[in-house]
Chains A and B, each alone.
Chain A
Amino acid sequence: MSDPPLLEVEELIVEIPTRRGTLRPVDGVSFTIGRGEILGVVGESGAGKSITGAAIIGLLERPIRIGGGRVTLGGTRLDTLGEPELRRVRGARIGTIFQDPSTSLNPLKRVGDQLAETALAHLDISRGEARDRALRALVDVGIPAAAERLDAWPHEFSGGMRQRVVIALALIGEPELVIADEPTTALDVSVQAQILALLRRLCTERGVGVMLVTHDMGVIAETTDRVAVLYAGRVAEVGPTRRVLTEALHPYTRGLMGSTPDASPERDARERLAQIPGSMPGLTALPPGCAFHPRCPEAMTRCATDRPHPAVRGDTRVWCWLHPPDEPPAERRP
């Protein structure tokens, strides 16, 4: 990638201090997102994908805190910002879309007012201009009869329409980055496709980088440019989506692909789904060395004692002793 990345996450650590010791739901996660690029962050429950997103926006609830690493957005370090500056960055430079629209939309405010207020808070414009932008935002996300809908309340919209409003709200402040956490999981599949296509179109058109957190591999395949696969708070591999999904380097990624059923008519329905034995360890029971090694069909002796160092293979970065690094891990980064 010739342009410098929009977002750089380097060795991010998130900690939860407990009476019995410090837990690390995110333990050395690294990836980048370019302008206009959609990075998928995929993993099963407990892998740390949502907490990573929360850490980037600075929405970790005490006592959860960033315990190490760096988060840099367009040259600005986010992990060291105080709360007032973080608040400014959140609306102006980072937009957020959550799974449940009711966490983003105030049920007691009309939709047009929420959009206009957000625009006013982050852009140097007049009230009239803000109202115009609110209308345009609704049109851009495909709300029919947008002029009338400006004065509607959130509960007057259907689920899919509400999520479109949330997208409008996330983009109206003209952010550089959008973090979308399971934005379509609660929606019917017919609406899901529309919402994802909308998100993709709007963000690539405007050069907005997107971090799309999901557990759904099909969504990853169809919507993202690159993907980071998370396991037990660590990255297994990160690289171009097609490459990672079809020629996975990490055994966990391969296992995940093999155990995912597919609706495609190409797939032979009788072929047995692969199974990964056991389940992802909880934070209090993380094994030493590589977190995946107890379940890994290709585990070696080293995997049980040493955590893998990252290695670069073409456009992909992988953390696995099957692919040891040729050089010290510090410099290169896809």
Chain B
Amino acid sequence: MDQVFTTIYALSIRQITGIWRMLIMFGLLALTEGLTIWITVIDDATGIVELIIPSTIMPLICLIIATPLFSDEIEERTLANLTLAPIPRWKIVFPKIMAAVSVGGVPLAVTTFAATITALSGNGLNISGGSILTALSASITILIGVICYSSLFAFAGTLTTRAVIIGLVYIFAWESALAALLPGLRYLSISKFNISIMRWIEDPNLFQSATLEVPGHIYALIASIAVVAITVPLSIWRLRNMDVQ
């Protein structure tokens, strides 16, 4: 692979794997799996896989991993080290987003896999080839969501050093509170896109707990691709046009 690409990828991995971020991320993941085990013992826990992970755990983890990709560089005045190098801006943006997807996406996918297996076992299903396939599909869906959220939050990080606060408002106000009041917002919600895709690629009979209305899966797929296709070029454009401190 290209030396510049791997260098920025490795640098970004180092930047976003600070002790506090890792503690928060693995704390959230441990909480997710613990909650799944606990609820499975007393009830149906598939809602955790279908609702809690895509709408809360995944965006929160992407928020703490992806916003600092650029906002920390801007705040700590290190971005010039990259922008004063003879490299096109996409070669800065792509490896950074890939680093966020690697750091946040892989543990999330593993946790989603484990939580799905746990939840499905609790429904009276043994760990079979079918449930493993379901868990694998859920994990892949979560990875799609991680790519969307990472691209969005990385772009937010190019706009402001307060991107975490804006991201928290987006997750809890836009995606949760407002979406509950205004059903039409499901067409502008990454987590709803993700839930829709998850319902589409899974056996619908396995996930019966959720009654949440989501957009159709074709819309959700196109919208997810659109989020990445819009926010990544916007990050590149922003890097080209910003005054770097």
Do chains A and B interact in one complex? Answer: no
Interface, chain A (partner B; CB < 8 A): none
